[in-house]
Amino acid sequence: MPKNRKRKEQAEADHNPKLPTKTTPKDPYPNHARPTREECVSVRDDLLALHGFPKEFAKYREQRLSSQASNGHDNDVSSEPLDEKESVLDGLVRTLLSQNTTESNSLKAFASLKSAFPTWEEVLAADSQSLESAIRCGGLAKTKASCIKNMLSCLLEKKEKLCLEYLRDLSVDEIKAELSHFKGIGPKTVACVLMFQLQQDDFPVDTHVYEIAKAMAWVPVGADRNKTYLHLNQWIPDELKFDLNCLLYTHGKLCRKCIKKGGSTGKQQEKESEDSNSCPLLRYCK
């Protein structure tokens, strides 16, 4: 009986393109039927026309297209050789260092870490004070150093080597379960690793994406970041997640008009129309 019900629900979802194609047991707002596929496509196209595709994410996009092509999908893939893939462990630590700091400072912290300790074995063997000094420019050095040491220690104990490449062979749910065992590794960090290093379809929610999603009413008023992550991952189509996430993140760094103008009235609406050419998202904010 449960199997028949599940088949019926999947058939209904396939028949109605406005419904998410996944089951939504984890969606905190199942009755908030936004964003629609049409909205996602429109926002992506508007931001792509405004910014172009962000250069900082171009190599990951090429890797995704190459991976899809190798799996039999028909995509236009550049004939130029791709950069060597970043290791999963490198990506995880780099993302961890990006928490609560600027992109510039996090990049400096990761470069400083790799310069001081070229291998992860050296990082694990280093004393805490030396490790903190190496990443201090990224902020929260004590907390991040402790998290890195703990994660490496647990990984070595569990797998007997400091490597996370085995995650490439696991499902999304299995990857989330594996990474959630490490103290200090939260949903956003896991989602970033899934999207960038593992070429999986996930939608990280950082501050920029969160604020824009609220301004466009893609989540109910009062939604926190974790619930926003759960909801958006159910409603944004998988094939749109990567480009849309990169574009929203980039737009959030460059423009604050859509967030500040969300819900404006009167004279502010007049100003919105004047700014519409510089911020296409204003027309989505209510």
Collect contacts of 36-44 with beta carbons under 8 A, ≥24 apart. Answer: 36/235, 37/237, 37/240, 39/216, 39/218, 39/284, 40/236, 40/237, 40/240, 40/244, 41/240, 43/216, 43/244, 43/247, 43/248, 43/281, 43/284, 44/240, 44/243, 44/244, 44/247
| Neighbour tally for 286: CB within 10 Å | 9
Collect contacts of 118-127 with beta carbons under 8 A, ≥24 apart. Answer: 120/89, 120/152, 120/162, 121/162, 123/148, 123/149, 123/152, 124/149, 124/152, 124/153, 124/156, 124/162
Q: What DSSP character marks residue 138?
A: G
Between helices 103-116 and 128-135, what is the axis angle to 10°? 140
End-to-end CA distance of the chain: 44
Indicate which residue of 188, 214, 241, 257 is catalytic.
188
Compute the distance between CA of residue 112 and CA of residue 229 in angstroms, rounded to an integer: 31
Say if CB 260 and CB 269 are below 8 A apart. Answer: no
Active site annotation includes 188? yes
Q: Which residues are catalytic?
A: 188
